[in-house]
Chain A
Amino acid sequence: MAHPVEQMDMTDPMVPTLARILRKRVEIPGVVTFELEAPGWQGFAPGQFNMLSLFGVGEIAISVSGYDAEPDRIVHTIRDVGATSHGLSLLEEGDTMGLRGPYGVPWPVADAAGRDVVVVAGGLGLAPVRPILYHLLANRGDYGKVTLLYGARRPEEILFTEELGQWRAQLDMDIEVTVDHASPGWHGHVGVVTTLFRGADFSPDTTTAFVCGPEIMMRFAANALTDAGVAADDIYLSMERNMQCGIGLCGHCQLGPYFVCKDGPVFTWGQMRRVMTVKEL
């Protein structure tokens, strides 16, 4: 499966380059993180995604979950849920996969400077917001209060537990984790992620919120944030649809007036709140 890694062809956005797996880490059963190298890759902004392909099987859109200040490390966290992600999950260090990108509108992290920041993540949604957290921690003095509210299905399904512990230890970011279904021995919060809002310390008028997770969870979280007084256009969500070309040509990811791959995946709640409740979309 190992191939020489070629220089990235930036002339045709539909042609993938070969990205080599430098490191593979099993986060939890069914979820792996790959660190890739792809010479010529131009780096990314938090919230952008790459199209990853397993030749002969398929191509999927996966958000970059690494740190944008380390553009040589392309980090992706993948859950094994379909044929392509399953095949990718089976790859090992030294193997290669196809990579196109990065694509999409990023999280406006820099625009949140001087404001409180609330990051709400659910399940695997912690991966696409991890670049935000890296950025906030590296530039901590530029922001007000920073809060991470994270919900997972079970304690065993909490992602990035080591980093969560390290971030907590820094004492300059409030981190609350809750699970929907507690296991014996779990001493943390139990309940959906929106239950964490009650104890969160932020000033609604000057808060920017970044929300990522299953769509239902994002709707509830965005509503809870607006109920708390955060403006709809200060709440950003990362949407997921059937992204195929990644550049707004094919139309598979159309969501109302938007192509999620090109106009998103990051949108404001102000843009999304109506289209997200239309079940035909």
Chain B
Amino acid sequence: MAIDGLEKIVAGHDLFAGLGDTFLSTVSGCATNVRFAADEYLFHEGDAAQQIYLIREGHVSLEIAAPGQGRMAFQSAGPQSVVGLSWLVPPYRWTYDARARGDIRAIALDADCLRAKCEADPALGYAVMKRFMPTIVERLHHTRLQMLDVYGTPG
């Protein structure tokens, strides 16, 4: 697909909506269109976090396997979600599995490429970081709520 088309798709994702043309072009240079079939894994726990996935269609199940319990889903991510935040901090390693619940269409951003561009242009780095921070904070809030077990039996 032509870069023009990719730029349009990247711009159409909530994460980068409203990003300026120059930055959008730079970010899109790290992007590729990807598809996953149902039950295919986007990545596995322990692997190097080399991609960021911007989900366009379908749902991804984020899971951790536990002895005797099989895989346990702790979160699902649907269209306009971001899957993969581990690319942001060393050691850049996935800490869970990501499995396609059905057919997935997504934009994969190459983490090495995006990190290098952010390092080279702090203004871009700041713009990108500002867009990832809300997702990080939102996940923290949601995790807190899950841990509070608010639907549990009182007392």
Contacts and interface: CB of A to CB of B under 8 A. Distances in A.
Interface string A147-158: 000011100010
B79 to A, nearest CB: 7
B147 to A, nearest CB: 9
B135 to A, nearest CB: 11
B153 interface: yes
A181 B78 contact: no
Interface stretch (B27-35, B64-72, B124-132): B64-72
Nearest to A125: B151
Contacts of A205: none
Q: A interface, how many residues as a size bin? A: 20 to 34
A257 B148 CA distance: 28
Nearest to A151: B151
Interface string A107-126: 00000000000000011100
B145 A182 contact: no
Contact of B150 (A123, A184, A186, A190): A123
B78 A199 contact: yes
Contacts of B70: 184
Interface in A23-79: 30, 79
Contacts of A220: 141, 145
Interface in A161-196: 178, 180-182, 184, 186-192, 194-195
A123 to B, nearest CB: 4
Contacts of B78: 189, 198-199
B145 A30 contact: no
Interface in B65-102: 69-76, 78-81, 101
Contacts of A191: 75-76, 142, 146
B122 interface: no
B68 to A, nearest CB: 11
B149 interface: yes
A181 B154 CA distance: 17
A122 B151 contact: yes
Given A181-B146, A195-B142, A217-B145, A81 B153 contact: yes
Contact of B73 (A82, A122, A190): A190
Contact of A79 (B74, B101, B145, B153): B153
A87 interface: no
B155 A81 contact: yes
Contacts of B14: 198
A94 to B, nearest CB: 28
A214 interface: yes
A216 interface: yes
5 closest A-B pairs by CB: A123-B151, A153-B151, A182-B73, A214-B150, A192-B145
